Amino acid sequence: MKIAVIGLGYVGLPLARLFATKYPVIGFDINKKRVDELMSGHDHTLEVSDEDLKAVLSKAPLRGFGGLYCTDIIEDIKDCNVYVVTVPTPADKHNRPDLTPLKKASETIGKVISKGDIVIYESTVYPGATEEDCIPVVEAVSGLKFNRDFFAGYSPERINPGDKEHTIEKIKKVTSGSTPEIGRQIDELYRSVIIAGTHLAPAIKVAEAAKIIENCQRDINIAFVNELKKMFDRMDIDTHAVLEAAGTKWNFLRFRPGLVGGHCIGVDPYYLAQKAQDSGYFPEIILAGRRLNDSMGEYVGSQVVKKMILKGIPVKNSDILVMGITFKENCPDVRNTKVVEVIRSLKEYDTKIAIYDPWANPKEVQQEYGLDIVTQLPEEKFDAVVVAVVHKEFEGIDYALLLKENSVLYTLK
Ligand SMILES: NC(=O)c1ccc[n+]([C@@H]2O[C@H](COP(=O)([O-])OP(=O)(O)OC[C@H]3O[C@@H](n4cnc5c(N)ncnc54)[C@H](O)[C@@H]3O)[C@@H](O)[C@H]2O)c1
């Protein structure tokens, strides 16, 4: 067994590292900078510690009992017999699924795959994408016949970036294969490294659907409490106090209002919605949830301004500090962060915004959003402080030191 992991990001690297504790693994990524960074023993996403990475790294492709070698050269993965795909599955600006990275990765595999090999997709997709969109690319490029010359599987990733408790090996993994026998082989492969065990789904489509509904369910649940927040704000009722009281019932689901960003929960429902519409069904709850959650950035901005006006604080030219710009706490990922919507909304009132985030990379934030951030807590005082993301560093802060005498402190969580 020699495994290639295609796409060494938040999902691919922890998986490649884990497999490399038992099998020879080649990590392949088109981003040379990422490959060089990993080969130097560092992961800027902080999902794998330098110590754990260095413990499995090898200077050359291995044939023995483990080790990870990273590369951007296609020929290096030619000898592999299991190809695991962990490339991004984004949505375009019209919220339509963009399968370009998946198709490109399938082309790469088509160029190197041999008879008897297995391709396992891990990227989050709508049901049907593996067999209808990806495998035909592998077949066309390789000239091999699916389920005769080569086989496939789908095993969705459930990791939660920044979560050091639920790490990859401790999360039960759903597996599936293009035939019952391949399903069993793939399941065995994952079971050999995942301590929490596996669940072998009866078909690839079932595994694909299972993953996407996990994220849709979360999105809809958060949309519900966001709707409650908008309603209760108007009625002058404290939503958090309501949720705390309701949460004392054993079967009340404990979700909290907030921004839904990132490239998973805020994107995946569009994948399922697109597939549903292609099948002639217009999803109502899923898209309503998306609309509601996408409106929260603007809502938070307007609430801050409203509170400032009610306290008699001049909004134009006011100094506002936004704390946290990553899409979630204790993680450097700024992709699709909705904090930028809060900032956009506040800027519409000609406010002066400072952004403090000790986790985000200032260069990346500037490139992605054209915003400057600081990574040290500012020393001046502000007319309003918006705590958008509760990084652990924010817990001990004395907020009084950041606030002018007449000011607003708005916390999202
Ligand atoms: N990050 C998460 O928390 C999470 C959790 C579960 C599932 N997922 C899903 O896993 C998939 C990967 O997400 P991610 O967060 O790891 O993405 P990422 O952007 O962190 O990493 C993707 C990597 O793939 C590389 N890449 C892109 N196209 C490539 C190609 N054609 N060939 C080789 N490499 C290529 C990129 O350079 C990048 O390093 C997505 O479908 C995502 O929805 C992510």
**264 tagged catalytic:** yes
**Going residue by residue through the chain (413 aa), what tens digit of pLDDT does each one get?**
999 999 999 999 999 999 999 999 999 999 999 999 999 999 999 999 999 999 999 888 776 678 999 999 999 999 999 999 999 999 998 999 999 999 999 999 999 999 999 999 999 999 999 999 999 999 999 999 999 999 999 999 999 888 889 999 999 999 999 999 999 999 999 999 999 999 999 999 999 999 999 999 999 999 999 999 999 999 999 999 999 999 999 999 999 999 999 989 999 999 999 999 999 999 999 999 999 999 999 999 999 999 999 999 999 999 999 999 999 999 999 999 999 999 999 999 999 999 999 999 999 999 999 999 999 999 999 999 999 999 999 998 999 999 999 999 999 87
- Bridge partner residues of 120 (DSSP): 84, 153
> Are 117 and 81 spatial neighbours (Cβ–Cβ below 8 Å)?
yes
pLDDT confidence of residue 161: 85
133 dihedral zone (left: phi>0; alpha: psi -120 to 50; beta): alpha
**Hey, CA dihedral for 26, 29, 30, 33, is it positive or negative?**
negative
Contacts of 227 (CB under 8 A, 6+ apart): 292
- State the DSSP string of 253-311: ---------TTTTTTHHHHHHHHHHHTT---SHHHHHHHHHHTHHHHHHHHHHHHHHHT
> Are 35 and 72 spatial neighbours (Cβ–Cβ below 8 Å)?
yes
- Residue 187 CB neighbour total at 10 angstroms: 23
Question: Mutation test of ligand 1: which of 13, 29, 71, 267 has the most ligand atoms closer than 8 Å to its C-beta?
Answer: 29
Cα 381 to ligand 1 centroid, rounded to whole Å: 40
Quick check: helix, strand or coil at residue 281? coil
Q: Cα separations (Å) of 353 from 321, 328, 343? A: 6, 20, 7
377: which 2 tokens?
């807590």
Cα 48 to ligand 1 centroid, rounded to whole Å: 15
362: which 2 tokens?
């200032």
Residue whose CA lies nearest to ligand 1 atom number 31? 105
> Are 139 and 173 spatial neighbours (Cβ–Cβ below 8 Å)?
no
Task: Report the C-alpha dihedral over residues 298, 301, 302, 307, rounded to 10 degrees.
Answer: 160
Cα 189 to ligand 1 centroid, rounded to whole Å: 21
> Are 282 and 343 spatial neighbours (Cβ–Cβ below 8 Å)?
no
178 dihedral zone (left: phi>0; alpha: psi -120 to 50; beta): alpha
What atom of ligand 1 comes closest to residue 263's alpha carbon?
43
Cα 325 to ligand 1 centroid, rounded to whole Å: 21
Residue whose CA lies nearest to ligand 1 atom number 7? 157
Cα 358 to ligand 1 centroid, rounded to whole Å: 24
Alpha-helical segments (H) within 197-284: 204-234, 239-246, 268-278
Quick check: helix, strand or coil at residue 76? helix
Catalytically annotated residue among 70, 80, 134, 264 = 264
Ligand 1, CB cutoff 6 Å, lining residues = 6-12, 28-31, 34, 86-89, 101, 104-105, 108, 123-124, 157, 159, 161, 263-264
Sole residue written with tokens 């704000």: 233
